[in-house]
Amino acid sequence: MDSWEWQETYLVNISNLDVHHRKLVTLFNSLYNDVYQCQKLSQKQPLIEKALTELIDYCIYHFEAEEKLMLQYQYPGYAPHKEEHERFKLQVTQMMQEHKDGNLTLSFPILHFIKKWFNGHILTTDKQYGPYLNEKM
């Protein structure tokens, strides 16, 4: 798995949300580098947990910002979009709990899941609200 490269195709043309998406890519790459560069598992896990928590916290902040705009402008796809956010939060929360229970090591499988989810979410689901919100704002 490679780090995550920002692409112009991620733009939804809503400036603050585009800034959020760029920051998510940056936070992901910081987490990726922590996993990739750290050799000792005993040092790696606390470092990854901290970086992953920061990434998840920012995801939630971003989701709330998106959902607020969708509600404000009565985006018709709000409910299924919010459901996607909720499923993501649930899956990541479960992974974090498995890690805390000692059943999961935070490393590339989690990174792969996050990268794949966000890549698909931005390029499909987020791209759908872009034209609608741009027309209304």
Span 12-65, pLDDT tens digits: 999 999 999 999 999 888 888 877 776 666 666 777 778 778 888 999 999 999
For residue 19, tell me if it sits in a domain. Answer: yes
Domain count, the chain: 1
- List the CATH number of the domain containing 42: 1.20.120.50
For residue 83, tell me if it sits in a domain. Answer: yes
Q: Is the pLDDT of residue 103 over 70?
A: no
Give 93's Cβ-side CA count (13 Å radius).
Answer: 8
For residue 8, tell me if it sits in a domain. Answer: no
Q: Which of 95, 34, 100 is nearest to 59 (CA)?
A: 95
For residue 103, tell me if it sits in a domain. Answer: yes
**CB contact set of 89 (below 8 Å; sequence gap of 6+):** 56, 59, 60, 63
Residue 79 lies in domain? 13-136
What SS3 class is residue 12? coil
